[in-house]
Amino acid sequence: MTQFGVILVESRPVEAILASTALSHRRELLVLRAETLPLATRMLKDVPVALGILGKEALEAADGEKLEAFVRGRVPLVGLGIHLAEALRAHALAVGVQEVHERPREWRAYRSLISELVDAAINLRTD
């Protein structure tokens, strides 16, 4: 089985636990957690990464320079959080994040969204 890395950039512990739990249902994933974008960028050198998931604070801190390594490595980036303002969504999309999603409150919907995002990223890597 081919293993794919997913970097989760989330500084809030509860959100990180939820995302990590949703990702843990996929055996082919190696979940890497970083609290900041600079730390996540350094992790890109260690493991082949198929997807980057950015929490609210990472979306707020995102800019072209901080996302450059992801873009250069063709690692798709998605934003995921609660109470994401439209201005934050627009900013994230403008600096290179491909998709921004409001985190579903219901567990099954959340896990399903994570699974869809992972499937799309893995398909990009294997095509």
Query: Domain segments of the chain: what residues?
Result: 4-126
Topology (CATH level 3) of domain 4-126: Rossmann fold (3.40.50)
Q: Which token pair is 99?
A: 């998709």
Per residue in 47-92, pLDDT (tens digit) is 789 999 999 999 999 999 999 999 999 999 999 999 999 999 999 9
pLDDT at residue 127, as a whole number? 61
d(CA 61, CA 40): 13
pTM: 0.92
**11-30: average pLDDT:** 92
What's the mean per-residue pLDDT of the chain?
92
Q: Rounded to the nearest 5 degrees, what angle is found at the Cα of 111, between the Cα atoms of 25 and 27? A: 15
